[in-house]
Structure 1
Amino acid sequence: MPQIQGHCDDRFSGVRDAFEENFRERDELGAAVTVLVDGEPVADLWGGWADTARTRPWERETLVNVWSTSKGPTALCAHILADRGLLDLDAPVAAYWPEFAAAGKEAVRVRHLLSHRSGVAGPREPHTLEELYDWELTTARLAAAEPWWEPGTRSGYHAFSYGFLVGEVVRRITGLLPGEFLRREVTGPLGIDFTIGLPEKEAGRVAELVVSPSSREAQAAAFAQMTPVAVASLLNPPTGAVAANSPQWRAAEIPAANGHGTARAIAALYGIFAGRGRADGRRILSEAAAERVREGQGSCRDLVLGDGLGHDTEIALGLWLSGPHGSYGPNPRAFGHDGAGGSCGLADPEAGVALGYVMNRMGAGIADDPRKMALVEAVYAAL
């Protein structure tokens, strides 16, 4: 059992207990969790190891790739532009990105990108990792792609394409890639330790991602059952811990999947939503814009994830609603985003709660990892 460091208010001692239990019972290697209530930290804990060899302790400032938990900050970029009147969520994507009208996509709206309903869940042609690192090539292929289903009718998880689709709209409006826009508008002014991609100077702080043999076997079994659209979304190109530990992955701009940050940073970013647009005394979004983020677009069985989650889901305008299954606590209108393998950002404006959880031993699932769920349950038990 590694030494757990940080602080935890007495009222939230159950969060510390759950965090410790993740190491004892759920094969945690290194991890951190931060819980904010009304913007104030009530738990900020870390422990374990930042590498497989267990030579580097997980420190307060350890960074880690959080996979799709990055989608929340990417969505925030679009909502800031919408709040300023620079982006109309009901406008055709082609109004900002004319090339996107190809292959019958002229009527696809910006809200369809945010809610994974555009039909462009991934390229139809094989797409290599090296090509994924090329922003211009990847966005050009997505702009030319035929939708996998009728846009706007159903959600189908856009695992990697999401960040390029939303991000290219941000770039067309601002001239900035979403990582730079986020830095200028949010993380820089607020001092939030989160980047899309990893600056080379921070390489010494980043944790090594690890996949256990049991998780690898479970993933292989799931991949064997995938439909063509699921393969396009999740496996085109194939990625994983080995790729994400490489300098090329870390240096690239992959807004849906290669955000790097601390648990404290994830809690702060999702805390903007929990705070109804305010964070650290600053207004980042108007209250109306912050509320619009969780505007549901319809519950359905996701066309990419299928029965993988075992239930219907509802994606709002960039994040997932907790819904009746309680992925983000008992409030069905709480919302957030998980990252492959376990990480999570959570926002609950009614409770004033924001949570960030990051780790480096990846579980087999895309969402609702048992370690994350134990922490979420402990938070709500304390309220």
Structure 2
Amino acid sequence: MEHLVNPLVKEVQISGIRKFYNMVADIEGTISLTIGQPDFPTPLHIKEAAKQAINNDYTVYTHNAGYLELREAASEYVKDKYQLTYDPANEVIVTSGASEGIDVTFRTILTPGNEVILPGPVYPGYEPIIKMCGSAPIYADTTKNGFRLTADIIEQYITDNTRCIVLPYPSNPTGVTLSADELKDIAELVRGKDIFILADEIYSELVFDQKHVSIATYLKDQTIVLNGLSKSHSMTGWRIGLLFAPVAISQHILKVHQYNVTCASSISQRAALAALTAGKDDALPMKSEYALRREYVYNRLQAMNLEIVKPNGAFYFFVKLPEGFTSSLEFCLKLVKQEKVAVVPGDAFSSLGEGYFRISYAYSMETLKMALDRIEAFLLKNN
């Protein structure tokens, strides 16, 4: 019966990140720097709020868009943090993680034959959904521009078929982000065109050297903002995403969301309410620790003479392969075989990621030291 499966689905590949993680998971003694998941526990007060929600029978369907109280808190949160203004009644949707937000957004705005501009290299979660919508992902090469998708690069890729530009900043896998001036330039380029901006800002609370700015500040009418609590509050398994868009767009996204999941988990929504109110600054101590880890990893990689762009957000380094290696998969397999350290091959993040590998530093300092010692030993052996 497989021949009856939707061919667009059959073409989809498992994420290269997970594929490599699964490939090396059973190698005993391996230190993994592969997964972008905070190593901090969910803050206690958030877990207590979830327990209380169960005890108080918050175990039924919510409004399709989420509890109004939570949407009000989310609206207040982005206004306080990023000076964005959205009406909680009809411009905020609570999704089942930011991943569902990506899915329902693309299925709302894309039609067959559309094109979506993505910065390459980029998180692999966009391309499959774009293709399942019958649209085409168009990768804009950012490797010679510090991994930043700026207006001058975007302009080269815009065609009559362009329907959306994805701005995933801070970036997975590179950790870079855009400045306010760069965002203003993009806004001016796109303003008035029949092009949406999908601003994936899931790492917005993990920006180190500048204040996070959203392009929605300058181009709200054409922008869909995705955020969530997975990275900021160490709530990956709770599956709470937050989608913000003008009502002209959000009213249609809500229909797709409704028929997709009905609503996000009621218990997780009550936990999210605690996160966005009493815990609105929960990310700050985590960010301080990530900043220390970033400096440590940066100094170690520099001492190994590896070519890197210093990240200013998220918790990743995207590292150029050392001389002597031409395949990112070959490098990563050899590293895990010889020294039992797992990192992600760069080609997991599109063909423009070939020639690089990704390190996640969402791990303890002790783990990072052990892994980097092994990477250093590997480079000395294979010099």
Please indicate the TM-score interval, normalised by the length of the shorter structure.
under 0.3
| TM score, norm. by length of structure 1 | 0.24
| TM score, norm. by length of structure 2 | 0.24
